A and B are shown apart, each in its own frame.
Chain A
Amino acid sequence: MFSITQRAQDVSSMITTSIGVLAVLISISSLIQLYLNDYNNLSGELSVRKAQNSVKFTRSFGGNARNGKENVRLSFDMETDLTPLFNWNTKQVFVYLVGEYDGLNVLKKAKVAKDESSKVVFWDKIIRDKADAVLDLKNTRSKYTVWDYYQKMGNRTANLKLEYNIQPHVGPLVWGSVDFNYPFEFPEPKNA
């Protein structure tokens, strides 16, 4: 404008406005790309090789000295292709293997709702590149030993699925899941 400071202010306002508009356009275009890539209908295969349930009596495994807590660990094979989730706006994708099972409504005094469900995470991974997006895992051990709020976990059936969270460079977070249709029954505890 008239003096150099006014011109500098005008130029900087133009630049920040254009950066804001570009950010909105990038996020909208990447969401459209995900929708066209059919990101919600991914498929894969999962099979659990070995699962074990043991009762632990220490704090770091959810139990205490008197009442134990049933802890479940498993090892699995998994195959899935996550490349439709990657476009120019994807910074990284966080995938995690969850088991979803019904809440325990046996204990009446706990007042658990009938349709309550619990989710536990067995394994997770951060994928940063499109080249690493094809997962082909063999005999992978679960990262975390899982336990429930209540003591009993054995003989309850869980639905295992892989959930993902797409973290973009600009724009909103996107969640989704790959359903394996694999009902998995937790084994009985081997030490009472």
Chain B
Amino acid sequence: MDQAAEYFQKNIAPALAFNIDFKGQEKVTSLCQLTTIIFSVIAFVLGFILQDVLVTGYVMAVGTVVLLVIGLPAYPAYNKNPVTFLKPTEVKLPDLDSAKAVDIEIST
């Protein structure tokens, strides 16, 4: 059970993350907010003119589907500016084996 969970975390989960980079993140949030506002306004105006609340509900349902299609999948257009990480360099770690133990005096 533990081994299966570890295998999942190491190999399968990163592939399911569908990451996008930061510039793409900006684009997606602003685009989603814009479409939410547009669909809400259209839903309210159409419902008020036709005097039917069901119209408002249906327009918002369509807007929800559009939002899911726009926002959830990791399109390559959102991955145009990948994050550049630094190259791995040699770091000098302190030598713990030869470290001197510090005597701590406990005052009673």
Contacts and interface: CB of A to CB of B under 8 A. Distances in A.
Q: Do A and B bind each other?
A: yes
Interface of A: 1-5, 7-8, 10-11, 14-15, 17-19, 21-22, 25-26, 29, 87-89, 169
Given A7-B71, A22-B43, A25-B44, A2 B36 contact: no
Contacts of B32: 10-11, 14
Interface in B7-61: 16-20, 22, 25, 28-29, 32-33, 36-37, 39-40, 43-44, 47-48, 50-53, 56, 60
A50 to B, nearest CB: 41
B51 A14 contact: no
B69 to A, nearest CB: 10
Given A8-B72, A19-B60, A25-B44, A89 B53 contact: yes
Nearest to B59: A22
Contact of A3 (B17, B37, B47): B17
Contacts, number: 69
A2 B19 contact: yes
27 contacts: A1-B25, A2-B22, A2-B25, A3-B17, A3-B18, A4-B16, A4-B17, A4-B72, A7-B71, A7-B72, A8-B72, A10-B29, A11-B67, A11-B71, A11-B72, A14-B33, A14-B36, A18-B36, A18-B60, A19-B60, A22-B44, A22-B56, A22-B60, A26-B47, A88-B47, A88-B52, A169-B53
Contacts of B50: 88
B47 A15 contact: no
Interface residues of chain B: helix, strand, loop or mixed (majority): helix
Contact of A88 (B17, B29, B48, B71): B48
A154 B28 CA distance: 75
B81 interface: no
B89 to A, nearest CB: 26
A15 B64 contact: yes
B83 to A, nearest CB: 10
B68 interface: yes
A4 B19 CA distance: 6
Contacts of A2: 19-20, 22, 25
Contacts of B28: 1, 7
Contacts of B37: 18
A31 to B, nearest CB: 13
Contacts of B16: 4
Given A14-B32, A22-B40, A88 B67 contact: no
Contacts of A25: 44
Contacts of A88: 47-48, 50-53
Nearest to A130: B51
B53 A11 contact: no
Counting chain B CB atoms within 10 Å of each CB, the highest count among A7, A19, A22 belongs to A7
